[in-house]
């Protein structure tokens, strides 16, 4: 007999041998062998041994992690996913019961526990609150880091998996205001343990408090919260499913008045960029650093065209409706920056990222190609009306980037709500930058008015206007005063620190 560790390793090896033999697995577990049931569950799901999955869930009672859901969602057998989703929902219900039984009613109320459905994104908060109160928690209810304030729908590989999760009981879309109001008030009163938050940020952990105002739909639309890779198509399909089940795409987060569409904006652009980079590498059959910056405009155009050729075949009624809603949305967030007139629209977020794919100068070829593709989508209405709707947003962000202004909007506060002390610092820097750049800001306003009236007068489509008129005429606008640019950059450096 070796050391304890070796004996454990031997047992796990024994378990691996039995993974295709559920009866044997059952006997080993009943006999008290110390098997690594979490690891074995991954194997069983991966190889599709459903009976072993059942044995492991019932006799081994392991905690269910994001990896389990993800492996199951990729299995050709949907039964595997159903088994894990149901078991996870059951564990989440147990966790909630534990909270309701042992925590004071006022704390339970502040947790915003769902009624008649399974805990989703709030599970991390419930778990840590139970821990803080010294309440013992069964290991089968443990949450791994992947669940840190995240939704199960971010692990669902596709719409079918989302449906299974919904049927298993994950129906809390966090549409309620409790979490949000609490966040807002508590930050003001300094009650949510600011120190703890600060520490979390310093240690690089994702503080769950920062995401409290997020709805499930926002989380799904948020690329940074993805523990696993997913495609744009799947994101849109899962969003479509959640909306069909009552998730509200227009719900605004209290902190910054952003909607799920705002958050989707950055992801849309990010996802397109990744595809274009991939395509450029394919076309050039080599691995180059910064392929977009190095490619010439016709190569970029060809790559963007190729990406859209694939996307075109994927867009159906449901995803088309989401895109339409996205591009035609007039919800403004609470940002104040010359890149938008009165706060960012969801489309501002998208176009702003899109033209800075190559840093500067703005990539007008990619932008024009994207607008062409979007205009072809029947669901956005007539081509002219669509161009007219997005023209003010597009022209403004192009001019903003051309004049090299510094953003004082959510582009500089990456998707997160950093807690009041830090946010206050950022806001102060923003005020300072806006003051320094007030002449450039005026210039953005004037040039936007000028080019918008030209756009209306000339009567070209927006992509043609950008390529054939804007690109040429904007070169005649004198470059910003170098001294002023220096001053701006100094302020920018302070902000980056």
Q: Which residues bind Zn ion (CB under 5 A)?
A: 333, 335, 337, 339, 344, 407, 409-411
- By the 8 A CB rule, do 405 and 480 touch? no
Smallest separation (angstroms) from Zn ion to the CB of 221: 15
Measure Cα distances from 314 to 234, 274, 368, 462, 486 in Å: 10, 17, 21, 25, 46
Smallest separation (angstroms) from Zn ion to the CB of 148: 25
For Zn ion, the closer CB: 337 or 403: 337
Smallest separation (angstroms) from Zn ion to the CB of 371: 20
CA distance 389 to 400: 19
Scan for tokens 């059942």, then name that residue.
54
Dihedral angle over CA of 461, 463, 465, 470, nearest 10: 160
For Zn ion, the closer CB: 263 or 344: 344
Smallest separation (angstroms) from Zn ion to the CB of 340: 7
Structure tokens at 302: 């060809």
Please report the DSSP string for 119-167 in residue order: --TTHHHHHHHHHHTT----GGG---GGGTT--GGGT--SHHHHHHHHH
For Zn ion, the closer CB: 156 or 258: 258
Smallest separation (angstroms) from Zn ion to the CB of 47: 47
CA distance 307 to 448: 30
For Zn ion, the closer CB: 216 or 340: 340
Scan for tokens 């523990």, then name that residue.
227
CA distance 147 to 404: 39
Residues in CB range of 493: below 8 A, 6 or more apart:
none
For Zn ion, the closer CB: 27 or 495: 495
Smallest separation (angstroms) from Zn ion to the CB of 337: 3
CA distance 472 to 457: 17
Scan for tokens 């600060």, then name that residue.
198
- Determine the 3-state secondary structure of 406 from DSSP: coil
Smallest separation (angstroms) from Zn ion to the CB of 61: 46
Structure tokens at 337: 């920056």
For Zn ion, the closer CB: 299 or 334: 334
For Zn ion, the closer CB: 173 or 418: 418
For Zn ion, the closer CB: 85 or 339: 339
Smallest separation (angstroms) from Zn ion to the CB of 206: 21
């Amino acid at each position: 007999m070796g050391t304890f560790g070796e004996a454990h390793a031997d047992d796990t090896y024994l378990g691996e041998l039995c993974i295709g033999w559920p009866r044997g697995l059952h006997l080993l577990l009943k006999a008290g062998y110390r098997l690594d049931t979490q690891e074995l569950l991954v194997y069983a799901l991966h190889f599709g041994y459903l009976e072993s999955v059942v044995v492991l869930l019932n006799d081994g009672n392991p905690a269910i992690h994001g990896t389990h859901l993800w492996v199951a969602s990729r299995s050709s057998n949907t039964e595997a996913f159903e088994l894990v989703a149901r078991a996870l929902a059951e564990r989440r219900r147990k966790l909630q019961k534990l909270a309701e039984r042992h925590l004071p009613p006022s704390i339970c109320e502040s947790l915003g526990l769902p009624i008649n459905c399974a805990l989703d994104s709030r599970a991390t908060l419930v778990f840590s609150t139970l821990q803080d109160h010294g309440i013992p928690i069964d290991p089968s209810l443990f949450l791994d880091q992947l669940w840190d304030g995240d939704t199960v729908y971010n692990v669902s590989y596709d719409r079918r998996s989302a449906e299974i999760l919904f049927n298993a009981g994950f129906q809390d879309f966090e549409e309620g205001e409790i979490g949000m109001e609490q966040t807002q008030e508590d930050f003001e009163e300094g009650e949510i343990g600011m120190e703890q938050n600060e520490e979390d940020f310093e240690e690089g952990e994702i503080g769950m408090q920062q995401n409290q105002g997020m709805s499930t739909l926002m989380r799904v639309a948020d690329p940074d919260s993805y523990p696993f890779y997913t495609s744009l198509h799947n994101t849109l399909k899962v969003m479509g499913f959640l909306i069909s089940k009552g998730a509200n795409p227009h719900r605004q987060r209290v902190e910054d008045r952003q909607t799920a569409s705002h958050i989707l904006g950055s992801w849309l652009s990010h996802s397109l960029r990744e595809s274009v980079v991939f395509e450029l590498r394919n076309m050039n059959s080599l691995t180059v650093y910064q392929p977009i910056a190095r490619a010439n405009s016709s190569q970029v155009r060809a790559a963007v065209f190729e990406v859209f050729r694939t996307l075109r075949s994927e867009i159906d009624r449901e995803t088309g409706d989401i895109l339409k809603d996205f591009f035609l949305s007039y919800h403004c967030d609470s940002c104040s920056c010359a890149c938008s007139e009165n706060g960012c629209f969801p489309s501002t977020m998208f176009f702003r990222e899109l033209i800075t794919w190559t840093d500067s100068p703005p990539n007008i070829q990619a932008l024009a190609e994207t607008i062409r593709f979007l205009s072809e989508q029947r669901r956005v209405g007539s081509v002219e009306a669509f161009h007219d709707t997005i023209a003010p947003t597009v022209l403004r962000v192009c001019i903003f980037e051309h004049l090299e202004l510094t953003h004082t909007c959510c582009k500089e506060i990456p998707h997160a709500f950093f807690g009041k002390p830090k946010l206050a610092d950022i806001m102060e820097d923003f005020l300072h930058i806006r003051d320094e750049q007030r002449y450039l800001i005026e210039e953005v306003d004037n040039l936007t008015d000028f080019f918008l009236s030209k756009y209306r007068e000339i009567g070209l489509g927006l992509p043609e206007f950008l390529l054939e008129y804007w690109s040429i005429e904007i070169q005649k606008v004198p470059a910003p005063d170098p001294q002023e640019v220096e001053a701006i950059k100094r302020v920018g450096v302070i902000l980056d620190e």
